[in-house]
A and B are shown apart, each in its own frame.
Chain A
Amino acid sequence: GENVEQHPSTLSVQEGDSAVIKCTYSDSASNYFPWYKQELGKGPQLIIDIRSNVGEKKDQRIAVTLNKTAKHFSLHITETQPEDSAVYFCAASMCSGNTGKLIFGQGTTLQVKP
């Protein structure tokens, strides 16, 4: 089955710097790769996603890149702010017809220091 590895497990950056979180997946059939942000005591919130027919996607300060050949994808946050501090999860799914079961990475705790 699919396996997703996420690195680093913790990341500390200075406000205004960039942050990069990387994930690798094992199943070449996976075609959907979302990123979630989870704040303390809350459920994960979908912040950006990418499908296998796209190499890069950007939404304001966040971007995701996908390398299908190497089977890895990354989250990039630019101009980090203290409110970006949270736990971030990547996931992979072979999303088709019936359902899209997500396999999650282990999570990255991002701390943005003011």
Chain B
Amino acid sequence: DAGITQSPRHKVTETGTPVTLRCHQTENHRYMYWYRQDPGHGLRLIHYSYGVKDTDKGEVSDGYSVSRSKTEDFLLTLESATSSQTSVYFCAISEESLAAALCEQFFGPGTRLTVL
């Protein structure tokens, strides 16, 4: 999984509680992404980061926030979890070279989150 770890790998929580998922990389890549995967929807981008403290919204960002205080860590927070946020969450990383924009994204193992 390209030097990417996600924690926790599984989590069950209750509606209304805050949840933070962590993505850690050892590749020193600049870009990091959070996706969610749901049946029939493929993977959808939640937020992404293009550097330390530089983040932006993806297509399904409502209800989520992110932070990146170090190159290696990208945190995804659900301030008040809802049942619609039950999903599998994947982190991805990519790098940009000087020769050409490297678009390849490499994914972590995922976190399965259940909100009851």
For A36, the closest partner residue in chain B by CB is B107
Cβ of A49: which chain B residues have Cβ within 8 Å of it?
103-104
Q: Is the CB of B109 within 8 A of A43?
A: yes
Give the nearest-CB partner of B109 in chain A.
A43
Q: Which of B42, B50, B56, B108 contacts A106 (CB 8 A)?
A: B42
In the complex, chain A residues 74-114 whose Cβ is within 8 Å of any chain B Cβ: 89, 91, 93, 95-107
Least distance between A1 CB and chain B CB atoms (Å): 7
B106 within 8 A of A: yes
A73 to B98, CA, bound (A): 28
With an 8 A cutoff between CB atoms, is A26 at the interface? no
The answer to whether A8 has its CB under 8 Å from any CB of chain B is: no
* Pairwise interchain contact A100-B101, C-beta atoms closer than 8 A: yes
Write the chain A residue with the least CB distance to B58.
A101
19 sample A-B contacts, Cβ–Cβ < 8 Å, listed by A number: A1-B59, A34-B103, A43-B1, A43-B108, A43-B109, A44-B90, A49-B103, A49-B104, A97-B101, A99-B50, A99-B56, A100-B94, A101-B33, A102-B43, A103-B45, A104-B42, A104-B43, A106-B40, A107-B42
Is A45 part of the binding interface, using a Cβ–Cβ cutoff of 8 Å? Answer: yes
Please report the C-alpha to C-alpha distance between residue A104 and residue B105 in the assembled complex, in whole angstroms.
12
Check A46 against B105 for contact (C-beta < 8 Å): yes
Judged by a CB distance under 8 angstroms, whether B22 is at the interface is no
Chain B 78-110 interface mask (CB, 8 Å, partner A; 1/0): 000000000000100010100001011111111
The answer to whether the Cβ of B74 comes within 8 Å of any Cβ in the partner chain is: no
Closest 8 CB pairs of A and B: A95-B103, A104-B42, A43-B107, A100-B103, A32-B103, A104-B43, A44-B107, A106-B42
Q: What residues on B are CB-neighbors of A107 within 8 Å?
A: 42
Which residue of B4, B40, B45 is within 8 Å of A102 (Cβ)? B45
Which residue of A has the minimal Cβ distance to B41? A106
Question: Shortest Cβ distance from B52 into chain A, in angstroms?
Answer: 15
- Residues in chain A near residue B41, CB distance under 8 A: 106
For A91, what are the chain B residues with a Cβ–Cβ distance below 8 Å? 42-43
